[in-house]
């Protein structure tokens, strides 16, 4: 039955000896001996790449060094423990008292709350946009989400304190009333009715970091290889099962990186929180209904005191902590993403 | 197990593009049917219409009827997810789930179907891997990622995954096109074995392969550029390769095509 399978014309039969050139053998350069050619384009690009790498590292080190050098004299003059105290009293340069503790609490609490709220919502939006929404709807919707990222943070601050805070007060009161036995929902060091709490700030930050987390996750989810998606569907997976077996594992690392980008933005956010958080000198209750300031908003609040180098140094020391915090967050994110490399 | 397929007057579209024109064809149970034809003539498209994978592409649709032992898989009451559970598919490029171990890959379909019993899963895992002639090579590393296997092993893993759910029909779209001759032979032998239990439809560009493994061969062709693909003829493989009734078929299999 295979008799009809004649070899195709030209397959394998075309190795006629090449005609000799009249000039005789051509001396070809010996490949083994010739030195590797350095092409100018390669060299230029290599130089540029190495140069920018070195420049970035140098710049970051310089910033760190600058912060450190400025902070050291103030840290020496500090009358309280910088890492162990929460008092902030820098009005008198001779009796300098500054501790990072309360600022650190408010910074971490607002950012983590924002992340906890934004992560599931972003995940939902990203999955909806990539796998559920009809195409005609997905594009404009994605555009609107991206537009959120373009809103200046001062607008978010105004909206947060003027519109969102009053609306959230009943929610906050309900939480405090029903879940008050959990320390996070107990009374804080400012009034819940005023709205200038970590709770409000966290919600506003969540809205602010939603677009970046959504956009990055969407990009990653969209890249899930088609053959994996089809492999799952062909096995009889429902849509959700397909997402769970292919899209989510594939996009996990990207989603975590996206969240860390968002966290980085939340940690550094200044103006919005400056407007929202009620200032207080009271000791925080480690509750979502605390007020106070984040590291960044405290620095902004203290701008008037920067003319004195010792006072300025106190704020710079706080800035240094924020700097290290974002570094640690990034390193953690990398560790999470690098884990389980084998399955990448 | 091993059901018969009757494709009745099926037209397939990608949006407005009419990709395949009026195909009628029957696949008897426990046999291998090969789809051959030039690139772009719609072999994959027809194959994917048999387990309702075609409609996964946005805008794509199928008209006509595909009967699985007399039951129309395109009837409105039929859930495509159920159809895909009973009609397995092996793709051109091996596509094990990269985040899963070899074991989890094999039993992925069972887990989707709700089987949780560890003993039962292990049993099916071993049986499927043996069925796919892969057991000896991987039995010591079932917990390693499936993506760490060679291409040929990955493809056999995908076959194991497809047969683990005991489908009625197995569809294969150029399953050997990314493999070396040894792995290809291994998979061809496997197809001959699987034929005892499953109804198999295989797309291939390799004429020798069609001749070696199939009982029945369907030749598809394009009427012209931009025209829909169509079924030229379908007959016993022996007849198609020795004495086809259409001139176009003879031209194609003898390499005088185009
Ligand atoms: N996702 C798609 N969207 C639009 N048109 C498509 C799509 N997939 C395939 N087609 C078109 O449908 C026709 C048939 O394609 P198909 O993939 O079925 O061909 P094939 O016979 O499998 O070819 P090959 O041998 O190259 O795999 C072609 O004209 C192709 O361009
Ligand atoms: Mg194809």
Residue A327 pLDDT: 85
| Chain A residue numbers touching B252 (CB-CB < 8 A) | none
> Confidence class of residue A11 from pLDDT cuts 50, 70 and 90?
very low
* Tens digits of residue pLDDT in A32-43: 566 677 788 888
Q: How far apart are the first and last CA of chain B?
A: 41
Position A20 confidence tier, pLDDT thresholds 50, 70, 90: very low
- Domains of chain B (ranges; CATH) run 5-253 (3.40.50.300)
Note the pLDDT of residue A8.
Answer: 44
Phi, psi of B221 (to 5 degrees): -150, 165
Coil/strand/helix, residue A253? helix
Mutate to test the interface with A, among B50, B79, B81, B101 (most CBs of A within 10 A): B81
CB contact under 8 A, A1 and B255: no
Residues A73, A75, A77, CA angle at the centre, nearest 5°?
70
Residue in chain B nearest A242 by alpha carbon: B112
Task: Answer whether residue A6 shows pLDDT above 70.
Answer: no
Q: Which of A298, A21, A237, A331 is nearest to B100 (CA)?
A: A237
Mean pLDDT of A242-268: 91
Q: How many angstroms separate the Cα of A139 from the Cα of each of A125, A149, A150, A223, B152?
A: 12, 16, 17, 16, 40
pLDDT value for A25: 53
CB under 8 Å to B40, separation ≥6 — which residues? B222, B229
Contacts of A74 (CB under 8 A, 6+ apart): A96, A98, A309, A310, A311, A312, A313, A314, A316, A317
List chain B pLDDT tens, one digit each, 258 residues. Answer: 688 999 999 999 999 999 999 999 999 999 999 999 999 999 999 999 999 999 999 889 999 999 999 999 999 999 999 999 999 999 999 999 988 999 999 999 999 888 899 999 999 999 999 888 899 999 999 999 988 898 889 999 999 999 999 898 999 999 988 778 888 888 899 899 889 989 999 999 999 999 999 999 999 998 888 889 999 999 999 999 998 999 899 989 887 654
Complex ipTM over 0.95: no
Size of interface A-B (CB pairs under 8 A): 94
In this structure, the residue with its CA closest to atom 1 of ligand 1 is B57
pTM: 0.81
Q: B81 and A237 in contact by Cβ < 8 A? A: yes
pLDDT at A51: 94
Residue B257 CA, chain-centre distance (Å), reads 25
Query: In CATH, which superfamily holds the domain spanning A102-302+326-343?
Result: MetI-like (1.10.3720.10)
Is 50 exceeded by the pLDDT of residue A158?
A: yes
Ligand 2 centroid from CA B109, angstroms: 24
Q: Is B2 on the interface with A (CB under 8 A)?
A: no
Q: Token pair of A11, please?
A: 């397959």
Which residues form the pocket of ligand 1, taking CB atoms under 6 Å from any ligand atom?
A: B 14, 17, 19, 37, 39-45, 57, 229
Q: Which atom of ligand 1 is nearest to the CA of B203?
A: 22
**Measured between CA atoms, how close is B18 to chain A, in angstroms?**
22
- From residue B214, alpha-carbon distances to B27, B189, B200 in Å are 11, 11, 9
Distance CA A196, CA A165 (A): 7
Determine the Cα–Cα distance for residues B56 and B53; give it in Å rounded to an integer. Answer: 5
Q: Least CB-CB distance to B84: which of A8, A135, A233?
A: A233
- The β-bridge partners of B11 are B63
Q: A17 or B255: whose pLDDT is higher?
A: B255
Q: Pick from A228, A249, A344: which is nearest to B95 by CB?
A: A228
* B40 backbone dihedrals φ, ψ, rounded to 5°: 85, 5
Residue A300: closest CA among A327, A268, A323, A324: A268
Give me the residue from A9, A227, A238 closest to B91, CB to CB. Answer: A227
Distance B46 CA to ligand 1 centre (A): 10
Residue B24 Cα to ligand 1 midpoint, Å, equals 19
């Amino acid at each position: 039955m295979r008799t009809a399978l004649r070899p195709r014309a030209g397959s394998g039969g075309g190795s006629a000896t090449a005609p000799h050139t009249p000039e005789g053998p051509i001396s070809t350069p010996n490949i083994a001996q010739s030195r590797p050619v350095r092409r100018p384009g390669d060299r230029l690009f290599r130089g540029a790449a190495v140069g920018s790498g070195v420049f970035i590292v140098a710049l970051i080190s310089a910033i760190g060094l600058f912060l450190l050098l400025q902070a050291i004299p103030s840290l020496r003059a500090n009358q309280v423990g910088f890492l162990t105290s929460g008092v902030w009293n820098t009005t008198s340069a001779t009796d300098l008292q500054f501790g990072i503790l309360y600022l650190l609490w408010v910074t971490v609490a607002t950012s983590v709350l924002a992340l906890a709220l934004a992560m599931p919502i972003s995940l939902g939006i990203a999955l909806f946009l990539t796998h559920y929404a009809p195409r005609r709807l997905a594009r404009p919707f994605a555009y609107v989400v991206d537009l959120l990222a373009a809103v200046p943070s001062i607008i978010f601050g105004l909206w947060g304190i003027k519109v969102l805070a009053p609306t959230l007060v009943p929610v906050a009161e309900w939480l405090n009333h029903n879940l008050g036995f959990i320390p996070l929902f107990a009374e804080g060091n400012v009034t819940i009715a005023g709205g200038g709490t970590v709770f409000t700030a966290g919600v506003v930050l969540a809205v602010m970091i939603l677009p970046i987390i959504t956009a990055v996750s969407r990009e990653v989810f969209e890249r899930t290889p088609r053959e994996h998606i089809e492999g799952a569907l062909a096995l009889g997976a429902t849509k959700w099962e397909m997402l769970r077996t292919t899209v989510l594992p594939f996009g996990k690392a990207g989603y975590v990186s996206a969240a860390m980008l968002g966290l980085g933005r939340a940690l550094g956010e200044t103006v919005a929180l400056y407007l929202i958080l009620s200032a207080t000198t009271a000791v925080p209750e480690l509750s979502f209904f605390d007020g106070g300031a984040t590291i960044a908003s405290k620095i902004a609040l203290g701008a008037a005191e920067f003319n004195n180098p010792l006072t300025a140094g106190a704020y710079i020391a706080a800035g240094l902590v924020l700097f290290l915090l974002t570094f640690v967050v990034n390193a953690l994110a990398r560790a999470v993403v690098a884990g389980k490399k084998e399955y990448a | 197990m091993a059901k018969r397929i009757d494709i009745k007057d099926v037209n397939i579209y990608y949006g407005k593009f009419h990709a395949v024109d009026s195909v009628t064809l029957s696949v008897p149970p426990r046999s291998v049917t090969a789809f051959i034809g030039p690139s772009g003539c719609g072999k994959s498209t027809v194959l994917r219409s048999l387990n309702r994978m075609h409609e996964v592409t946005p805008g794509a649709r199928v008209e006509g009827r595909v009967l699985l032992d007399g039951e129309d898989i395109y009837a409105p009451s039929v859930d495509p997810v159920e159809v895909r559970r009973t009609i397995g598919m092996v793709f051109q490029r091996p596509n094990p789930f990269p985040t899963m171990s070899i074991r989890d890959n094999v039993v992925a379909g069972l887990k989707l179907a709700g089987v949780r019993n560890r003993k039962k899963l292990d049993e099916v895992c071993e049986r499927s891997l043996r069925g796919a002639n892969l057991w000896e090579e991987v039995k010591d590393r079932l917990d390693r990622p499936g993506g760490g296997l060679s291409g040929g092993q990955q493809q056999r893993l995908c076959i194991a995954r497809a047969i683990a759910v005991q489908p009625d029909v197995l569809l294969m779209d150029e399953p050997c096109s990314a493999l070396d001759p040894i792995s290809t032979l291994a998979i061809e032998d496997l197809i001959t074995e699987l034929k005892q239990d499953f109804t198999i439809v295989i797309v291939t560009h390799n004429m020798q392969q069609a001749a070696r493994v199939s009982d029945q061969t369907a030749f598809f062709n394009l009427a012209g550029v931009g025209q829909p693909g169509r079924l030229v003829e379908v007959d016993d493989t022996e007849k198609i390769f020795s004495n086809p009734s259409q001139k176009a078929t003879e031209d194609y299999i003898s390499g005088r095509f185009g």
